[in-house]
Each structure stands twice: as structure tokens, then as C-alpha cells.
Amino acid sequence: MLHVVLYQPRIPPNTGNIARQCVGMDAGLHIVGPIAMDLGRSAVRRAGLDYWDELTLSIHESPGAFLHWLGDRQPWLVTRHGELRFDRPGYRDEDILIFGSETTGLPQEWLTRWSERSVFIPMPGKIRNYNLANTVSVILAHASLKAGLYEKKGQ
């Protein structure tokens, strides 16, 4: 199982779409707080997220709590300023893929700490950035293939 980490997400529909992708691809979703949206049962039900109960979800109340969970593992950071094109790393089962906030990205300290493990999706067109949910879809699908996770499930 791959782990998708959202650093302080701000846009509920993005988080909902990413959660759906994680359920569909059997990936865990980690949300690093503080969280700017209501993820309570009634809010999730009102939003029509009928797959939410199938989601492997971990909430980390703060960046410090997440870093404690992470320990000495080496994550992949996804940023438009990454050093490696997203299809170059040899992703493996249990890899951790970290995506920044829609408004502020990832902390500079993290980008510096894991600079050699930062990836980007090329943007040859005239746009500022990609939507977070779309970025997660591209990276998660590719990393799952590279990690051989589909073959393990006979797909």
C-alpha cells in the first residue's frame, strides 16, 4: 500500500476526490493538520462521500505529529520545483508521497531536507500549476504501477 500525504489541505472537493482515488487504488490517505475543513461523519455524509468508510485514513494533528509517525523513512515530495521527473524514481510498496497545500505548498524545511527525493510533473503549457487532485492521480497511478501493486492483485 502506498501512502498519500496531504499537507494542510484547504479545498474540500480536492480532498474528497483524492480520498476516492486512494480508495480505488488501495492507498492510505494521511492528512497533516491543522485541518481547515470538517471531516466529521455528518459533513462527510452531507458531501455524498459514500466511499469514506472504505478509506484508510490517518489524521496527524500537526506537522510535528506527522514527522514523528514518519520516523526515519524517506518520503517522496511532489512539488513543481522538484529535482526528478515524476516517472524516474523506482517507487516501492509502502512509499510515502507528500503533496503540499493548494495555497502554500510544502514547508521549505521539508523541501530542503528531502530535496533529492522531490519530484515534479512537467508543465509545458502556459499554466501556473496543476490541480492538487489531478496531480495526486497522476503520481499515485504511476507510482502504483512502478511499485508493481497491480500485478500483486492480479490486475
What are the residues whose beta carbons fall under 8 Å from the beta carbon of 60, sequence distance 6 or more?
A: 30, 31, 32, 33, 66, 69
Predicted TM-score (pTM) of the model is 0.92
pLDDT of 81-139, one tens digit each?
A: 899 999 999 999 999 999 999 999 999 999 999 999 999 999 999 988 899 999 999 99
Fold of 3-152: Alpha/beta knot (3.40.1280)
Domain residue ranges of the chain, discontinuous segments joined by +: 3-152
What are the residues whose beta carbons fall under 8 Å from the beta carbon of 34, sequence distance 6 or more?
A: 8, 61, 62
| Residue closest to 38 by CA, chosen among 60, 66, 9 | 9
pLDDT of 49-90, one tens digit each?
A: 778 788 999 999 999 999 999 999 999 999 998 999 999 999
> Parallel, antiparallel, or unpaired: how do β-strands 96-99 and 76-78 relate?
parallel
Asked if 78 contacts 139 with a C-beta cutoff of 8 angstroms, the reply is yes
- Give the separation between CA 72 and CA 150, rounded to whole angstroms: 27
